[in-house]
Amino acid sequence: MSSPHPPTPPPPPYSVVEPAPQRPPGGAVPTEGGPAPAAPEPAVRPGRHWYWVGGLIFPVTLAFGILLLAPEDDSPAEIFFGIVTPILGFFVGMTALLVVFLVRSSRIAALRRARYPRPHPQQGAYGGHAAYGAGPVHGGPPPPPFRPRIDPGAVRPRARWFWFGGLAVPGGIVVGAVAMWAVMSSGSALPDFAGEVETRGSITFEVAEGETAAWGLWVSPGDASFHYDCELEGSSAHEYPFSFPGVVYESDGWKLVETIDTPTPGEYTLVCDGDAGVSYAVGDTATAEAAHSRRNSGIAALVLTTLAGVVAGTTILVVTAVRRGRSERRLREEASRRAADAPGGGQGPGPGPSAPAGPPPGPAPAVEDARYQGYGVTIVPPDGEHRPRPE
């Protein structure tokens, strides 16, 4: 007959509270045999190369705009895209950089919170410490804070103002483009020629009082403007009566290449001899000067309306975000006060049965622990700085 097994020794009267796991230096996770090598951080999307993509958008669009504006005989479409393209590239590049930064930052923060959660003590029955005998305490995610619900429609100003601010920038560009087209398309593109010849011939025109430098030599096509030989004949004609017109202008294949010096009123004759297929004409220079002025005014209108749209859109977005944040905080504070005044003390979404009364004030009474029945052990909760002892 075998002897009965000796009684199992009782467990310790209290459990040792283990410290919460701390984040090891360098990202390594300690093991029983020693610190393990640092684990590689998980890949975060979007990658860092998107910073380069966003940073290169503006230089590329700027170079493209410079190439469009480099020729002297720019068309209205080339001028428009040469100015608008760098502006749009700047805003697209800055937006791409900001979006990549915000998305990467939020995802990196989420990965760190998941990998290294903040420890918090386990709540006990008599205060903020774990009760003796409750077992080891480990860290865990803290409970979410109480956030009262509010009506999103009550937040002012309304969210549609974000759309108004976002549409202000492209709206300013569109308004500037329309103003530029309207200004540049107004007025005549070419003057009324006093005469026109092809390849070789002569043109006779009459100069009135005050038209000293009002006439110019026009050549078509414009790329043939440097292959001609013309002379001016008249009572007061100089040996070389041509000078630079002061403006570079070309329209419908005709280009103003020279200003004809006519010092006194009278009749003058222009004799030209050039390549085959090249036409020559005499016309006033005021048309070219007016068209050049209209082009500068259109460009100024485009730039100013674009800047106005950027300033207005940015102001609307910032003011809307700040005022909506203040309005939401005020509504949440009011909802919190109402929840605190309601039955239940704001601990739940609505009124319910009252919570049971807590322990009476004073030292906690001694309690019997089921694990120590039969051993004559009574657990006494801590009192002051004294550690409980088994009786």
pLDDT in tens, 130-152: 444 445 545 555 555 667 788 88
**Interhelix angle for 286-341 vs 76-115, to 10°?**
20
Average pLDDT for residues 105-130, to the nearest whole number? 65
Query: Per residue in 212-267, pLDDT tens?
Result: 778 999 998 877 666 678 888 876 666 678 888 888 888 888 888 889 888 888 88
Q: What is the pLDDT of residue 373?
A: 61
Q: What is the pLDDT of residue 251?
A: 82
Q: Return the percentage of the chain with pLDDT > 70, whole number.
A: 65
Q: What is the pLDDT of residue 174?
A: 86
What angle is formed at CA 95 by the lines to CA 90 and CA 98, rounded to 5 degrees? 125
What pTM value is reported for the model?
A: 0.53
Query: Per residue in 4-29, pLDDT tens?
Result: 555 555 555 544 444 555 555 544 45
* Higher-confidence position of 93 and 119: 93
For domain 195-286, give the fold.
Jelly Rolls (2.60.120)
Backbone angles phi, psi at 318, to 5 degrees: -65, -45
Q: What is the pLDDT of residue 125?
A: 44
Q: Where are the domains of the chain?
A: 43-119, 195-286
CA distances (Å), origin 250, targets 88, 182, 192, 241, 351: 28, 18, 15, 22, 82
